[in-house]
């Protein structure tokens, strides 16, 4: 299966559905390729996750699963969530609210779970915003 660029050249798609063949200088000059077209897709990340697991890298697969969920989340929101996860930045309610948004609005179940967990850990360790 690996590497995908070698073995799945035809089938692999970017986040916006472009194939590797579509992404050419010619198409860039024609204005047909935007920055979004060079983002990774959910599916490609899932595949890389499967490859990682097959090689004994369980945690890496979990990371790629969380990443695949985040492909749908806008850049600004990602930066905002990251900032809120830093020490003393968010109340427990804010963290739980963020987890809910990720789960309900973006189907980001694993990311949501990790943030819910962080809310409990931050509470226990006293690093929530007061």
Residues that bind another protein (CB under 8 A): 2-6, 8, 12-14, 18, 20, 23-25, 28-29, 33-35, 38-41, 44-45, 47-48, 51-52, 55-64, 66-71, 73, 75, 78-79, 81-83, 85-87, 111, 114-115, 117-118, 121-122, 125, 127
Q: Name which of 83 and 93 has its Cβ closer to another protein.
A: 83
Nearest partner of 126 among 94, 90, 97, 88, judged by Cα: 88
Q: Name which of 13 and 92 has its Cβ closer to another protein.
A: 13
CA distances from 56 to 7, 16, 17, 45 (A): 21, 31, 30, 17
């Amino acid at each position: 299966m690996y590497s995908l660029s070698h073995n799945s050249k035809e089938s692999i798609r970017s986040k916006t559905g472009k194939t590797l063949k579509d992404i050419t200088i010619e198409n860039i000059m024609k204005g047909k390729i935007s920055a979004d077209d060079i983002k990774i897709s959910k599916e490609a990340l899932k595949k890389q996750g499967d490859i990682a697991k097959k090689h004994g890298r369980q945690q890496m697969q979990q990371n790629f699963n969380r990443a695949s969920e985040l492909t749908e989340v806008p850049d600004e929101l990602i930066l905002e969530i990251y900032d809120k996860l830093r020490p003393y930045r968010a109340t427990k309610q804010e963290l739980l609210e963020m987890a809910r948004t990720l789960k309900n609005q973006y189907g980001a179940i694993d990311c949501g779970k990790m943030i819910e967990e962080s809310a409990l850990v931050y509470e226990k360790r006293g690093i929530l915003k007061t």
